[in-house]
Amino acid sequence: MMTQTLQQTIDKVAAAFSRLKGIKEGLSGEAGGIQFDEWDWEVGVGLYGFLRRAIANGDSKAIDDLVDWYGRQIARGLPPRQINSTAPMLPLAILIGHVDRPDFAALVEDWADWLVKSLPKTEDGGFQHVVKERLNEGELWDDTLFMAGLFLAQAGVHFGRRDWIDEAVYQFMIHARYLSDPVTGLWYHGWTFVGRHNFARAFWARGNAWITVAIPELFFLVPDIDEKDRRFLANVLKSQLRSLKAFQRDDGMFHTLLNDPTSPLETSATSGIAYGILRGIEAGILPAEDKLYADKALAAVLGQIDDDGVVLGVSDGTPMGHDLDFYRRIPNLPTPYGQALALLLLTDVALSGAESAGEDAQ
């Protein structure tokens, strides 16, 4: 079982997540169910980790809390569909495999169909990174793959829609073509077909973390991914990890700009990269010895969590920058997504510890 100390840390980080959304505390149980009263990507990331833990632990109360939360959100009306508002659909697409809710399934099916048929596409058929603030015409962003690509893949698995799975995998391929640097293996924040450039050519840490996470998650969601695609994406991840390991500081942290030691240290990226490494090892993509780098990052993240469970050293929301100074000037402050990425990491460590304890007892 997970250690009491780790469980206490997870509970504190989860409670702080709720407070940062301006809502009463609590993920589940005695605190009164899931309280996040907003449908957005930050909540989507947190709910994904929450659902992973609930399924692994066989926690029916947590599953019921999720059902209640999604039911309330749907009943009151969801926000306009775009890339970031798709993030909460990933946990829902998994949840419908565990509960009998035809209305949930219908929403998942309709939203996936919308992504394929109605979301604006870039040249070469990429998912345009449409957000609530702007259309971002002709732009590919690295976080699209976690926010929307994984959902489409899971929807395809659930409904037996190979065309949706293939489209999701294609999005990984087309984003890798335009965002992955062949020299370093790191990913640029974005690409524009309008100007045909990578904006500031920034190796933005949190953007790279979304990729480190998304590739292993895709392998777990789609176990029968075509072998040639698996081989390609595994090598993309390995190439990225070679540079990430080189740019990790001795204390385990990463900078906001991975290759710029003058840029601020960044905890959400450090959390995401550590989680992605662990998931990559679990997926059989990365060698077990890479856990050393995840462990260093984990220690660093734990050192950034204050007594109230707030994850410190997280950079503010970051739109596309047109020069590197833009990224250096982004302030660090407590954010819900910083909490969510730390929760993903801590939850995976806790679940892995529980599995190891079970194996040792056999």
- Report the CATH number at residue 311: 1.50.10.10
Is 283 a member of any domain? yes
Is 218 a member of any domain? yes
Q: Going residue by residue through the chain (362 aa), what tens digit of pLDDT does each one get?
A: 346 799 899 999 988 887 876 544 344 433 445 556 789 998 899 899 889 888 988 999 999 999 999 999 999 999 999 999 999 999 999 999 999 999 999 999 999 999 999 999 999 999 999 998 899 999 999 999 999 999 999 999 999 999 999 999 999 999 999 999 999 999 999 999 999 999 999 999 999 999 999 999 999 999 999 999 999 999 999 999 999 999 999 999 999 999 999 999 999 999 999 999 999 999 999 999 999 999 999 999 999 999 999 999 999 999 999 999 999 999 999 998 999 999 999 999 998 874 443 343 33
Is 111 a member of any domain? no
Is 59 a member of any domain? no
Count CB neighbours of 288 within 10 A. Answer: 8
Q: What is the pTM of this model?
A: 0.93
Is 58 a member of any domain? no
For strands 139-141 and 265-266, give the pairing.
Answer: unpaired
Question: 252 is in which domain, residue-wise?
Answer: 4-15+120-356
Is 288 a member of any domain? yes
Count CB neighbours of 135 within 10 A. Answer: 12
Q: Are 254 and 302 in contact (CB under 8 A)?
A: no
Is 260 a member of any domain? yes
Count CB neighbours of 45 within 10 A. Answer: 28
Is 303 a member of any domain? yes
Domain count of the chain? 1
Q: Where are the alpha helices (DSSP H) in 58-123?
A: 60-76, 89-95, 102-117
